Amino acid sequence: MSWSRLALALVLLVAACGDLPRPFEGRPGALASRLSQPPPARLAVVPTGQVLLGDAAAGQYASAVAEAMQEEALPAVAEPVRPGDWRLELSAALRGSQVVPGFRVRDPAGAERGLAEAQPVPAATWSEAAPDMLRRAGREAAPTIAGLLAGIEAARRDADPDSLVNRPVRIHLRPITGAPGDGNRALARHMREQLIRLGMTVQDKAEGADYAVGAEVSLADMPGNQQRVEIRWRVADARGAEAGQVAQLNQVPRGTLAGLWADVALVVAEEAAGGIKDVIGNQTNPRRATPAATPPAATPPAAAR
């Protein structure tokens, strides 16, 4: 098989292997861990006097909202506010025959950072305060609140000159291992070129990098004089925690990659670089929320995406 045909096979082998051209296993919840600093910020869920429920029902509603937010990977608790906590104030407004649940986010200094509303509930149903209704209201509110917090965080990053929104991502390119022939060097060279082409800054040292990228290549003999080639790119954040992977699989005639990788390394790097960009984007570009929010000075608890 010629180098050009092999390069084409690497791109078109989706049906055979299912992992190309952009296979990656991102970690949707990684945003929460990235933004969490010890001690992690808590989101204290507190009902206000305008929630249109009795004290007992208001407490049950706060607990339902907190439990639903925990399922969104937020450290929400229905407990009294402690120093350093962010606060989610629950309220409700009567509009005709409907009750509209409302939410106000305050930072640890007490400054308002955003407002949102959930879908209306019939006033008669709300006033009954049945446990099932309160749990359902909490579940329905969770995505709205998560979006509100994501918008607050996006606004904060937009205002931060050192945010990855406002400067190129710095990548530490780690050694690539396991490839036969000149594969390790060729893959590293082309991956550096592709990451730079995608707007990232590539450096040889770990110091000051936002993410580290490395790869392991493994080959296994297959029947019919074939070899199974697996290239697994690993993306780690600045703390060394895995942010995601890009896995590429192919089957080639045995010995094809024993010498020069040539255009094969270029195609592999092109496809893998797109997956690496997506993995990093999962962490650095959270969802934009519809409600407007004032850019906060502090970092809010972050919802998993």
Residues 47/59, Cβ–Cβ less than 8 Å: yes
What is the band of 152 on the pLDDT scale with cuts at 50, 70, 90?
confident
Order of strands across the sheet with 242-253? 25-26, 242-253, 226-237, 211-222, 170-177, 201-203
What is the band of 164 on the pLDDT scale with cuts at 50, 70, 90?
low
Fold of 3-29+167-284: Double Stranded RNA Binding Domain (3.30.160)
pLDDT in tens, 247-282: 998 888 888 888 888 888 999 999 999 999 888 887
Helix, strand and coil percent figures for the chain, each rounded to 5: 35, 25, 35
* Cis peptide upstream of residue 21 (ω within 30 degrees of 0): yes
CATH 3.30.160.670 maps onto the chain at 3-29+167-284
pLDDT of residue 166: 55
Alpha helices in the chain (DSSP H): 3-12, 14-17, 30-35, 55-71, 123-128, 131-158, 183-197, 263-284
pLDDT of residue 84: 86
Residues 288/139, Cβ–Cβ less than 8 Å: no
Question: Token pair for residue 278?
Answer: 């997506």
Q: Assign domain 41-158 one CATH number from 2.60.40, 3.40.50, 1.10.8, 3.30.160.
A: 3.30.160
Does residue 5 register a pLDDT over 50?
no
Residues 158/132, Cβ–Cβ less than 8 Å: no
Query: Which tops the pLDDT comparison, 238 or 87?
Result: 87
